[in-house]
């Protein structure tokens, strides 16, 4: 058996496996970063929705209780 050829094939195979592992790790890192950004955006949007809903309900309650922003003009 040609041991030199076997060594080259083993080195090429090992390099290919290492390259695949590196590519998979980079893809996982990118997807993790995107997932983190999406989680932050979702949580921020949820926070804005809750605060906006509370403010909107407060304005509706103020209007329902008779509070007005514009005074009536008397003739």
6-15 per-position pLDDT tens digit: 888 888 888 9
Q: Which residues of 35-65 are buried (b: 16+ CB within 10 A; e: fewer)?
A: eeeeeeeeeeeeeeeeeeeeeeeeeeeeeee
pLDDT confidence tier of residue 25, bands split at 50, 70 and 90: very high
Q: Which of 1-10, 16-25, 47-56, 62-71 has the weakest average pLDDT?
A: 62-71
Single pTM value for the model: 0.53
Is pLDDT of 29 > 70? yes
């Amino acid at each position: 058996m040609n041991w030199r050829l076997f060594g080259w094939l083993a080195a090429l195979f090992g390099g290919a496996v290492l390259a695949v592992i590196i590519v998979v790790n980079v893809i996982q890192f990118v997807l993790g970063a995107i997932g983190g950004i999406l989680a932050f955006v979702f949580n921020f949007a949820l926070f804005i929705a809750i605060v906006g809903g509370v403010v909107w309900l407060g304005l509706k309650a103020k209007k329902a209780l008779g509070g007005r922003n514009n005074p009536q003009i008397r003739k």
